[in-house]
Structure 1
Amino acid sequence: MFMALLCGALLLAAPAHAQDAETPPEESVSVPQDLTDETISNDELSLRVLPLTVEDLTALAAEWQAIAKERTVEVVGQQLALDAGEDAPNLKSDLETARAERRAAFAKLDTVVNALAAKGGDQAAVDQYRAYISAVSTGEAQSSDWGTLLSEGVRWATSPTGGLHLLIQIGVIVLALLVLFVVARMVRGGATRMVGRVPKLSKLLQSFIVMVVYWLTIAIGLMIVLSALGVNITPMFALIGGASFIIAFAMQDTLGNLAAGLMIMINRPFDEGDYVTVAGTGGTVKSVSIVSTTITTPDNQVIVIPNSKVWGDIITNVTASDTRRVDLVFGIGYDDSIEEAQRVMEGVVAAHPAVLSEPAPVIRVNELADSSVNFVCRPWTTRDDYWTVYWDLTRQIKEAFDANGISIPFPQTDLHVKMPSSGLPVAPVSAPSEQPGNSTYAANDEGVGDDDQ
């Protein structure tokens, strides 16, 4: 009986032992020893961690945190010995050496942690590493005296990895920005020449395209400079994407003006230098930006109109055509000769050098008004000579009418008075007025209506 139970137990345990034998043990992530060597430079470490995976970087970060911890323990021990007044030789220099080694360990730990965060490592672990570095650095600064802080500040300012490194980075940024602006100006000049060769492209659209090219060059160049300096620009895109919704909601009117400005530039209802009437204002278009149109009135007032009002209203472009018709109206008296007046006007119009022969001028009787017979005089001229022809013909036709005895009547009223045979004017007849007590009823009418009976 005992032997049977023992055999059964062995048979039940055999598969379990076989399964344990078949399951391979978990492989621990091995970190190359040279990556944890404290003599490795930070620049070399930055390059050596590029091919590592998240698991490799996690293990490497733990190794460097352990090294940083050991160096921190050494610094704390030597600091306590120095505070206790121990008279050991070279104690202060040993403390400075220990601090330098600890700073180097922290710098390399920070490099590994940044690589781990960039490759999508555990954010909680990344935060813990960074919190450890910050807490140790802050605690040491709070417990140090003024002399130590001053010496640390001077050391950081003169260190190739501290102040000098920051100064070099600032210089690189300033120089890169200057070069970037020079390159952007060169690109803008090239874009100006290229868009100038495109036929039927308005000046407004040309200016807009050149401006977009200029600022895009600056934006792309700035991102390249920041990336070259090791700045992670990926969060910037996330920030811009999140803020775009809020900005769009807060700037609805501005975005409406932006859309209207693009429609003006694409459809080209007017161009710079055109005389237009928009939003109830007439003047010469000085400039058109993304959000507004600037117009200069004939009396030299500068008016800025939002593009949404410009595009949403009637636009009259006076100078869109090369030629314009001058509309004039002249009146003569009813006693004057129509043929003579038309001959005089035709002669004056034909003699003016700025009047075009084609299309032919139109001079016709247009209206029999209350006080005059009105002619329309409609010559054609170039748009630049419009006001010259308008003012010259107004004066010259008036002078020609005077020279030929043709009157230009003014509004007048004829009063006709009828006289009786006695020669005295007829007295006006006033309407009879009702007096109290006087009966105004007809004969046999007592003032009783049907409704009173």
Structure 2
Amino acid sequence: MRTLIIKCWLVGVLLLCGATWSVQADTTPSAESQNVAVESSSSNPLSEKKARQLIDQKRKLIDIESDYFALSEQEKDSKGRLQRLLRSRMDENRINMTNDLLVYANAVAEHRDDGFDVQKFETHARSLLEALPQTVRDGEKRMAIVVSQIIKEETTAVEQAALDQRLDRRSKQTDEMIAAFLKGLDVWERYELNVEEEINQLKTVLMKMAQVRSIFAELAAEELTLRANMLKLLPDDTELLAKNNVGMARVALATKALQRTVDMMSDIGMNTGRYEVQLEVLSGDFTSEVMNLRGASNLVSSWYSNATRWFHHHGLSFFLQGLLFVLILFVSWIVSRIVKTMITRGLQSGRVHLSKLLTRTIIAVSKNLVLFLGLMLAFSQLGISVGPMLAGLGVVGFIIGFALQDTLSNFASGMMILFYRPFDVGDLVDAGGAHGKVHAMSLVNTTILTFDNQMLIIPNNKIWGDVIKNVTIQNERRVDMVFGISYTDDVAKAEQTLHEIVASTEHVLETPEPNIRLHELADSSVNFIVRPWCKTEYYWDVYWDITRKVKVVFDENNISIPFPQQDVHIYQTQGNGAAPVEDADK
């Protein structure tokens, strides 16, 4: 009896509060009407009838919003059934407000498009429209809370039926709010609001709802199967029988709720194949073989319908994006070719002296950088996020680098060769155990062509880790030669002859002066060093020319060129002494 009195008292308080807020809401629009009157006195005012209609619609929205805030304050301090009742009324309030708001906002937009000055009405409608998506998200969260409570609670059949009815009412209210929101998307476009962003957020909400309702339906079906098996063992258990009946009703409610979500997802082009298969299974009208066949058919059909719907709504934009993607890549390719040509001409103009490897590297990097930036820009036009892609490339690069340590070592050595420039293409080098002319260079290896026309490809780390001898890096070289004369020849005459030979040889430089000196008294000859200077490219010409002239001129002047010889003396022993028997030159 006491409980009944308390409940009646609470209802009376609610009615009294509602009346008070209603009076307050009635007093508010009077000032509003004055503002509208001022607004209507503008250059292109509304007719009195149209202005009064907008005022009445706006007043109705204000009343609904005031009622919502009043219910919200009461809901915070309430518990149990009263709290659930207040929440239900709040949701009904929001549904009514959404429908009335769409009518109001549409009317304001029509008057604005007709050229009437309705700026204050438009500002008010815009603010309410911008707050509408949050209402939808709040409804989805409250529904998820109710589902979690039902899953956790172990109740009797009567309590379970009450919870199911509560959840069904909450689900329908949430679906009505979403349906109203979808119906008002064209109104959003008339107010130039970001429809695409809100649709994406709505897709997230619907995906969460579908997941929650799918899991709830699956759990309900599992419980129903479990209870059906238990009834075979306990056919006379009335509570179990009652729960089984409630379970069948729960599966039916869950199936309908999931079906409503799938329908809304299909309306905005979302993929619903997996949920449609589950709905077929929940219907329970087929055997497992037929269900699998029908499920697969539905899945393929849903893919086709979704693809058709997607191309209907987004086909043109997708085609334009694809065309823009190809166009950006084509322009990037042209720009990269232009950049390559300009950089090549600039580096080959003679103003900048760089190695061929560095020149080729700069050209390749510049060209590829333009192509890479163009590719990133093209991907961004397709709506693909570039940041995660770059992060993924970094991770892949780290893995590849760890796997190719030796190759990276060659690459690092190539970078050192690139910056320090110990040799270039065309130089004659002795490096990495090879002697020959540098034929090609890269950041990984160097190709050397030997004098007998063999091609050697040497890793850069082997070259950089050893002594590098560049024979042709200097413009001038000294030709070191040694010529010997006999001990019986005239030293001064031989020295004068060598000076004349060097002076008459083509390509010998006057500066630095040639160096001709008596250098060594060897075992078989008196050796002169002859060291003229020449341009590097004439080294072997000078070497061979002087060598030939020395032989010819020495022969003409009777200057001998000795060769190693040895005198052998043979002694025959006679008595206590030894006397020479024969002298032989050999």
State the TM bucket, normalised to the shorter chain. Answer: 0.5 to 0.7
CA spacing shift, 1:138–1:424, aligned 2, 3 Å: farther
Residue 368 of structure 1, CA deviation: 1.6
Q: Secondary structure of 2:528's match?
A: strand
CA spacing shift, 1:106–1:302, aligned 2, 3 Å: farther
Who is 1:143 aligned against? 294
Code of the aligned partner of 1:187: V
CA spacing shift, 1:232–1:106, aligned 2, 3 Å: farther
Residue 103 of structure 1, CA deviation: 9.5
Structure 1 residues 210-221: aligned runs within 5 Å: 210-221=363-374
CA spacing shift, 1:47–1:283, aligned 2, 3 Å: farther
Residue 165 of structure 1, CA deviation: 7.8
Distance 2:296 2:208 in 1: 31
Q: Secondary structure of 1:313's match?
A: coil
CA spacing shift, 1:167–1:51, aligned 2, 3 Å: closer
Task: Choose the corresponding residue for 1:30, options 127, 132, 135.
Answer: 135
User: Any idea what the Cα deviations from partners look like across 1:263-309, whole Å, max 9, x if unmatched?
Assistant: 11111112222221111212222222111112222232222111111
Sequence identity, in percent?
38
Name the stretch that deviates more: 237-246 or 272-281. 237-246
Residue 139 of structure 1, CA deviation: 9.6
The answer as to 2:550 corresponding to 1:403 is: no
Residue 61 of structure 1, CA deviation: 5.2
Task: Choose the corresponding residue for 2:542, options 373, 389, 392.
Answer: 389
Residue 237 of structure 1, CA deviation: 2.5
Who is 1:231 aligned against? 384
Structure 1 residues 33-432: aligned runs within 5 Å: 36-37=182-183, 48-50=195-197, 58-59=204-205, 105-106=265-266, 108=268, 110=270, 132-134=272-274, 136=276, 143=294, 173-196=325-348, 199-419=352-572
CA spacing shift, 1:264–1:250, aligned 2, 3 Å: same
CA spacing shift, 1:296–1:178, aligned 2, 3 Å: farther
Code of the aligned partner of 1:257: N
Residue 348 of structure 1, CA deviation: 0.7
Distance 2:337 2:480 in 1: 49
Name the stretch that deviates more: 314-323 or 283-292. 283-292
CA spacing shift, 1:157–1:35, aligned 2, 3 Å: closer
Q: Secondary structure of 2:389's match?
A: helix
Name the stretch that deviates more: 409-418 or 373-382. 409-418
Who is 1:79 aligned against? none
Code of the aligned partner of 1:336: D
Distance 1:21 1:151 in 2: 46
Code of the aligned partner of 1:389: V
Q: Secondary structure of 2:558's match?
A: coil
User: Any idea what the Cα deviations from partners look like across 1:127-167, whole Å, max 9, x if unmatched?
Assistant: xxx6x544548999953899x97999799689556989877
Q: Any stretches of 5+ residues in structure 2 without a counterpart?
A: 1-71, 78-85, 92-133, 137-177, 213-261, 281-291, 582-586
CA spacing shift, 1:426–1:203, aligned 2, 3 Å: closer
User: Any idea what the Cα deviations from partners look like across 1:61-87, whole Å, max 9, x if unmatched?
Assistant: 568999xxxxxxxxxxxxxxxxxxxxx
Compute the RMSD of aligned alpha carbons: 4.6
Code of the aligned partner of 1:49: E
Residue 331 of structure 1, CA deviation: 1.4
Q: Secondary structure of 2:571's match?
A: coil
Who is 1:98 aligned against? none
Distance 1:336 1:103 in 2: 117
Q: Secondary structure of 2:523's match?
A: coil
User: Any idea what the Cα deviations from partners look like across 1:33-89, whole Å, max 9, x if unmatched?
Assistant: 77513986xx999952337896x66446568999xxxxxxxxxxxxxxxxxxxxxxx
Distance 1:333 1:214 in 2: 67
Residue 192 of structure 1, CA deviation: 2.9
Distance 1:21 1:145 in 2: 50
After TM superposition, the score normalised by the length of structure 1 is: 0.64
Q: Secondary structure of 2:568's match?
A: coil
Contact 1:106–1:133 (8 Å) recurs in 2: no
Distance 2:428 2:366 in 1: 29
Q: Secondary structure of 1:409's match?
A: coil
Who is 1:441 aligned against? none
Q: Secondary structure of 2:570's match?
A: coil
User: Any idea what the Cα deviations from partners look like across 1:355-403, whole Å, max 9, x if unmatched?
Assistant: 0000000111122222211111100000111111011111111111111
Distance 2:497 2:278 in 1: 101
Distance 1:273 1:103 in 2: 74
**Number of matched residues?**
355
User: Any idea what the Cα deviations from partners look like across 1:83-117, whole Å, max 9, x if unmatched?
Assistant: xxxxxxxxxxxxxxxxxxx899537354xxxxxxx
CA spacing shift, 1:237–1:290, aligned 2, 3 Å: same
After TM superposition, the score normalised by the length of structure 2 is: 0.51
CA spacing shift, 1:377–1:214, aligned 2, 3 Å: same
Distance 1:231 1:298 in 2: 55
Name the stretch that deviates more: 244-253 or 227-236. 227-236
Contact 1:156–1:162 (8 Å) recurs in 2: no
Residue 349 of structure 1, CA deviation: 0.5
Distance 2:295 2:276 in 1: 12
Distance 2:495 2:265 in 1: 105
Distance 1:207 1:289 in 2: 9
CA spacing shift, 1:143–1:425, aligned 2, 3 Å: farther
Code of the aligned partner of 1:178: F
Distance 1:336 1:53 in 2: 106
Residue 236 of structure 1, CA deviation: 2.0
CA spacing shift, 1:251–1:155, aligned 2, 3 Å: closer
Who is 1:81 aligned against? none
CA spacing shift, 1:346–1:60, aligned 2, 3 Å: same
